[in-house]
Every structure is written in structure tokens, then in C-alpha cells.
Amino acid sequence: MTCVTRSGLAWGALVLGLLVGSACSDGGGGAPTPSPTPTPVVNTKPHFTSANAVSVPENSTAVFYTATGADPEGDPVSFRVTGGDDAAFFQITPSGQLSFKNPVDFEVPSDKDKDNKYIVELTINDPAGLGEGLILTVTVTDVTTGPYHVRRVATGLTQPVYATGVTDGSGRMLVVQKTGQIRVVDPASGAIAATPFLDVSSQVTTDGQRGLLGLALAPDFATSGLAYVFLTNMSGDIEIRRYATPAADRSRLDPSTAMLVLRIPHSGSNRNYGGWIGFSPNDGYLYIATGDADDCGTGVTTLSVARRCNAQGGSPLLGKVLRLDPTKDDFPADPDQNYGLTPTNRTLAILSGFRNPYRASFDRAYPRNFWVSDIGQSLQEEVNFVQIKNTYVGNTYHQDEQFDWPYLEGDIVHVNDTSYMRGAGYNRFTWNHGTGDYNANAIVGGYVYRGPAESLQGIYIAGDYSSGRVFGIKNDGVSPGLRLTQAFRPDIGTIDHISSFGEDQKGNLYIVDYDGELFVVVAD
């Protein structure tokens, strides 16, 4: 093609031709060079660079974790809460700052598994919406500093199994030793008096769960000097005995004053004795908790067999809570029975269906409220709450509550019979056997706290012999169980084998450890 230029051609047309890429040749021909095709950009999802686990102290709403991530293209990223069993408890900013919406309590876990491990899923996204998830485990830890602490009072005790305060204003504590002595402890100094309050070590057998197991001072001890003990005699039977102090010396019981109140045959087994004895602040009568002598358990699958077990109809006195008047003798011809039946019951037993009710207590603020722990066999531990009746049925007060062993172990059915109806009229709190922070393997009942530490007021305290864990119960029908093990960690020593709790005259709570230590909860 020949390119012709005319003198009158407008410069604008010439420029336009250049812009649109017109080509002129001298006839030699040729093709234009094509522009290269751009390489497509691939968007790769961002990924997390922060950890998948974090710990945070209880009661915190501050930021405790900052999510971080990287985007391969260098694009900005943002973060969201998108799932997890416990997602509802969390909030996160787009830049990744994670916090609890509201304070969470270590003692009352709210997470799905109730183990203080909260599971939340976080997601990281780029502007195009690509992203990935991260399952984050948030472990809530206990804050042990607070309005109370636990102080070690004394060491050097021998197999202590119970403690109670002397009701004479002295502040002294009496510690029962399974070996047959009751020692006097000064909580202020930790000194253990050289002379025992009582020594019957030559009169008790201590194999298995036998020994000197319980003590109750008479309500008028300050004037009468009378005290009652629960022990196993040389034949392995249960004996409830009364002793008296010399009139001029309330610091010791005189062994020569021993009087048998009640003997209960129990020689077939050295297990499941129960062992608690105490006076009701409501009616003033003596209450006794007895075990079932280990006569039933594994293999009891039918109602007909279970009904013959000691805790049910097999024994009138074993696997029961008994109530009697120790100031009377309705059986003068029987040397094994020196007590009176109270007008509040037709027989000694008022509560039945226990396996091993080792510890029990009354609430000093609400004296009809009775708590009794029952050591389980292989599945669950339990604590039961019941109000002792004080209303008439016919011409007598009457109470006959059924606590279900061996039909049930805790809430787990033993008998293979759907016709069985569990007892009513009481509350049951249970712990599965295991090693978790809310498991128990040998429950030890305590007291409803009425001491000077305000934050513990009204909470029932119990523990586990096998691990030293401490639990709390708010008996409101709503609150879950409390985990108090960390809060009860002492200033010195170790709480690892809780054998009992105790109260002094002022309501201070004591913890008895079987390895020889005595502790007390002190208000800050």
C-alpha cells in the first residue's frame, strides 16, 4: 500500500491515525507484534500463627488472647468467633483481641463439660472471604487469694478421723484418733496435750475400717462433763459408750465411768461401719450413722435380694441413721441397751438405705437440716440432705426416709427392676468415681459453713479422702457444685487424705488429714 500525503490534510487526522496504530508501508508488507497476556493472580487463604490453647484466671473480662495470622498476598485479615461448644461466652474484635463477655467462676464452671476448659472456634478471613478455623482451648484457672485462707494448726497426730471443739469456751479442739485415743489440741499454738482426753486403745480393734470413729459431747457438757463415743470393740461390733470427766477436771474423760449405751453386732466384716455420732441442736437427741457391714453390693440385681440387705430389711440397725434419748433407759433388763426411745420415733432407725454413712452433720443455723454422706461402692459418691421432721403422725413423731442403697448407688440403678421407685423427700448430690477435679472416690461429708468467712456462708463443704479434693454445695436447687480444692490449699503442709471435717464452738471449719495434720479455715 502507498501512503499519500496531501498538503491540505488536517493535523488532527494525522494524529488520530498514529493513535489507532495505522501503518504505512512502501509495499514491503508486515504484521504488528501482539501484547503479552497477563498471568492470573491466585488468592490463597490466610492461616493462623497464634497458639491453640491459653489459660486465664477466673473472673476476668479483660483481653487474654490475641489471635494472629498471615496472608500470603499480604492482604489485611480479620477474625471472628464462629463456633465451638462454648462460643456463647466469648467476644473478639476484628483485629483478634479475645475476651469473655462476662466473668466466669472457677468454682462454678459454665463450660459444656464442666471442667473449666472452654472450647471456642475462631476464624481468620481475607477481604475476599477466604479463611480457616482454629479450635482454641481456654483453661480457666483458680484465683486462690480471697477473703479466707487455710492454716495448718497441728501435726504429729496418729490416724486422726474426727475433730470437734470443746464447748466450754476454751477454744480447745478434740481430735479422735482411729487407734483409740482422743487428743486435745490448742489451735493457737498447735500444741497437743500430753494427756489424752480419752484412751481406750486397748479396748478397740483397728483392722480395716474399725477403730475409735466418732465423738459427741453432751449438749450440757460444760456442766455435766458427759461425752459419747462410737467405737468397734475387740469382737468388731459397734459400741456406743458414755464417759464422764471428773467433776473438777473437764480436760479428760475418766475411763472407769464407761457405760454401754448400745451394742450393734457387726463382726462379719471389717468394712462399712459408718462411724458418725452427734446431738441434734433441734431436739437434743443423739443421732448415730451405721454402715451396712458390706453385706450387699455387686451382684444385687433384684428387688427381692436387695430388700434382704442390711441397709433395707436385713437389719434393724445397720445401714441406718438411728435416734435415741441417752438420758433414759427403756430396757433395764438388757445390758446392751441403755437408752430411751424418743417420742419422735417408734423404732431406733429413722433413716434407712445407706452403705457407709461415715460422716453427717446438722446445720447450726437451721437445726432441722441434716446432711449425711454415703461412701459408694464402685460408681458414685453421694451426699444427702433431709429435714428432720417435727410433726406428729398419730400419737408420735415419725420419720422413715428411704435413701435407696442397694437399689441405687448415687443416681445409678443397681437392681434390674423398673418397678422400684426411688425415695423422695430429700436432695441427693453425687460425684462420679474418677480422677478429674470434680470426681470423688471416698466422699467425706462436712458442714454447712457458719464461720467468719463471709464468702463461704451457707455453703456445705465436703471432701474426698482419696485425693484431698474439696467441694462445696449451694443447696438452692440451681447452683452446680463448687470446686474448692485450690482455694483450700494450706499455707504449709498438704491436704491429700481428708478423713473428716470439724467445727469449733464459734463455727470455724477444720479439716482433718489422715496423715496426722489438722487445718483450719481462717477469715482474712
pLDDT, residue 243, reads: 98
Per-residue exposure over 273-308, b if at least 16 CB sit within 10 Å of its own CB, e if not: bbbbbbbbebbebbbbbbbbbbbbbeebeeeeebee
Q: What is the pLDDT of residues 79-89, one digit of tens each?
A: 999 999 999 99
Return the SS3 of 498.
Answer: strand
Per-residue pLDDT of 281-296, as tens digits, reads: 999 999 999 999 998 8
Task: Give 454's DSSP letter.
Answer: G
Domain boundaries, the chain: 47-141, 148-523
Please say if the pLDDT value at position 193 is more than 50. Answer: yes
CATH 3.40.50.2300 is the classification of domain 47-141: no
| Residue bearing the bigger pLDDT, 419 or 163 | 163
Would the pLDDT of 174 be above 80? yes
With 70 as the cut, is the pLDDT of residue 11 above it? no
On average, the pLDDT of the chain sits at: 88
Topology adopted by domain 148-523? Neuraminidase (2.120.10)
Torsion of CA 269, 174, 320, 240, to 10 degrees: 70
Write down the pLDDT at residue 414: 80
Residue 233 contacts by C-beta under 8 Å, 6 or more apart in sequence? Answer: 203, 204, 205, 239, 263
Q: Is the pLDDT of residue 187 over 80?
A: yes
Structure confidence at residue 125 (pLDDT): 98
Position 344 scores a pLDDT of: 59
pLDDT tier at 5, thresholds 50, 70, 90 = very low
Which cell numbers hold the place of 416? 434390674
- Asked if the domains 47-141 and 148-523 are classified in one and the same CATH topology, the answer is no
pLDDT digits (tens, 9 = 90+) for 82-131: 999 999 999 999 999 999 999 998 877 899 998 999 999 999 999 999 99
The pLDDT, as a whole number, for residue 62 is 95
Q: Is the pLDDT of residue 23 over 60?
A: no
pLDDT score of 145:
52
- Average the pLDDT over 455-471 and give the result: 96
Evaluate if residue 342 carries a pLDDT over 80: no
| Mean pLDDT (whole number) for 33-50 | 84
pTM: 0.76
% of the chain exceeding 70 in pLDDT: 88
Residue 459: is its pLDDT beyond 80? yes
Given CA atoms 281, 320, 502, 463 in this order, what sign does their dihedral have?
Answer: negative
Q: What pLDDT digit, counting tens, does each position of 145-171 carry?
A: 558 999 999 999 999 999 999 998 889
Confidence at residue 140, expressed as pLDDT on a 0 to 100 scale: 95
Q: Does 232 score more than 60 pLDDT?
A: yes
Check whether 20 has a pLDDT greater than 50: no
Residue 425 has pLDDT above 80, yes or no: no
pLDDT digits (tens, 9 = 90+) for 243-271: 999 988 989 999 999 999 999 999 788 99
DSSP class of residue 36 equals P
Q: Residue 311, SS3? A: helix
